[in-house]
Structure 1
Amino acid sequence: MTKSIVCLQHLSSGQQEMIRAAAPDYTLTLGDSRNPDLELLSGAEIIIGWGKGIRDTVLRQDSPLRWVQAWSAGVEKLPLEALKEREILLTNASGVHAEPITAVILSFMLMFTRNMHTAIRNQQSRRWHSDGQESELTGKTVVIAGTGAIGSETARIAKAFRMKTIGVSRSGRPVENFDQVLTTGELKHSVREADFVINTLPLTDETRGLFDAEIFSACKQGAYYINIGRGVTTHTDDLIAALNSGQLAGAGLDVFETEPLPEDHPLWGMEQVIMTPHCAGVTDRYADRVVDIFVENMKAYLESGKPSRNLVDYSRQY
Structure 2
Amino acid sequence: MHRPVLNAREYLGNELTSPRKIIESTLLVLGTGGIGREIARIGKEGFRTYNIGINRGGKPAEYFDEVHPTSRLLDVLPRADIVAIALPLNKHTRGLIGERELRALKRGAIVVNVGRGDVVKEEDLYRVLKERQDIRFGTDVWWVHDVHEEIPPRTPLTALPNFLGTPHIAGGAQREIAEYAMIRAVENVIRYLRGEMPMNRVNRDDYV
| Structure 2 residue identity aligned to 1:130 | Y
**Structure 1 residue 232 and structure 2 residue 104: aligned?**
no
Deviation at 1:250, TM superposition (A): 1.1
Equivalents in 2 of 1:225, 1:205: separation in Å?
22
Which one has the largest radius of gyration? Answer: 1
Structure 1: tracts of 5 or more residues without a match: 1-117
Give aligned pairs, total.
196
Deviation at 1:307, TM superposition (A): 5.5
Partner of residue 37, structure 2 = 152
Give the counterpart of 2:66 among 158, 163, 180.
Answer: 180
Partner of residue 287, structure 1 = 178
**Structure 1 residue 131 and structure 2 residue 16: aligned?**
no
Give the counterpart of 2:167 among 253, 277, 281.
Answer: 277
| Structure 2 residue identity aligned to 1:141 | T
Equivalents in 2 of 1:291, 1:218: separation in Å?
39
TM-score, length-scaled by structure 1: 0.56
Q: Secondary structure at the match of 1:216?
A: helix
Equivalents in 1 of 2:68, 2:114: separation in Å?
20
Deviation at 1:311, TM superposition (A): 3.0
Contact 2:88–2:115, Cα closer than 8 Å, also in 1: yes
| Structure 2 residue identity aligned to 1:292 | I
Contact 2:143–2:153, Cα closer than 8 Å, also in 1: no
Q: Secondary structure at the match of 1:268?
A: helix
Partner of residue 316, structure 1 = 206
Q: Secondary structure at the match of 2:110?
A: strand
Partner of residue 4, structure 2 = 121
Deviation at 1:299, TM superposition (A): 3.3
Equivalents in 2 of 1:201, 1:152: separation in Å?
12
TM-score, length-scaled by structure 2: 0.83
Equivalents in 1 of 2:75, 2:113: separation in Å?
19
| Structure 2 residue identity aligned to 1:297 | N
Deviation at 1:286, TM superposition (A): 2.3
| Structure 2 residue identity aligned to 1:209 | G
RMSD between aligned residues: 2.3
